[in-house]
Amino acid sequence: MMSDFNTNEMMTVAAARRLGNGSVCFVGIGLPSKAANLARLTHAPEVVLIYESGPIGAKPSVLPLSIGDGELAETADTVVPTGEIFRYWLQGGRIDVGFLGAAQVDKFGNINTTVIGDYHAPKVRLPGAGGAPEIAGSAKKVLIILKQGHRTFVDKLAFITSVGHGEGGDHRKRLGLPGEGPVAIITDLCIMEPEAGSNEFIVTSMHPGVTREQVIENTGWQIRFADNVSTTEAPKAEELAALRDLEARTAAAHGQKGGDE
């Protein structure tokens, strides 16, 4: 039945809903791209998707494998040099939402995509920064999407690749960074938002069937919950249909659904 959904679908739909129609969104590859394109195919047809490689107003029919995927340029309203994307659009204050993934995130929405372990002798070397530090620093607001677990939601990052709210409170403002910073972390279990004043991320909504114990067990810090925690609205039939069609087209084109990591 269409009403049945899995945790990945719930996460993607919940993230897509955070993107307003007509907003200008700087999109990361992977889960952010899947959620942003789902938004474009459902409630936000006028959203303007911008990718780091230069496409503006991209409308891919299948999810891109990378920022260099020709599908992005071929479906875009225009393509400009990467330098223009960053200097004029991003640093010029023209990006409403930065949509990012992460390998690790901490309680203040700081992101690590660089290394696991010691920087000079890492256990794992991750893909790196790309444009994420600039997006996190200059977009008017930032959305973060990733699967939740002890390895991804950690008390202390091995390396801060992209700054969220720094050490909490007004630290971001003191760093001189524009914009609100991260306004939500959407996972396969819940939605977290920064607490007023401290800017520590707390649980404000839990997905259907998820318990507080599950959230606590899959968080590497002492996670706190808002006074009134809501239940995330389950995916609608049209949201699931659009998502599954997008994944099916992507699988047919690339042999994989895209955006699963």
Which residues does the annotation mark as catalytic?
A: 52
Place of tokens 């959230």: 215
Measured distance CA(11)–CA(189) in Å, rounded: 7
Measured distance CA(7)–CA(218) in Å, rounded: 14
Place of tokens 């945790």: 7
Q: How many CA atoms lie within 13 A of 251 on its CB side?
A: 8
Both tokens of residue 52? Answer: 């780091």
Q: For residue 206, give the nearest of 222, 228, 221 by alpha carbon.
A: 228
Task: Kindly state the greatest CA–CA separation across the chain.
Answer: 51
Measured distance CA(125)–CA(111) in Å, rounded: 15
CA 171 to chain centre: 22
Task: For residue 123, give the DSSP letter.
Answer: E
Measured distance CA(63)–CA(51) in Å, rounded: 12
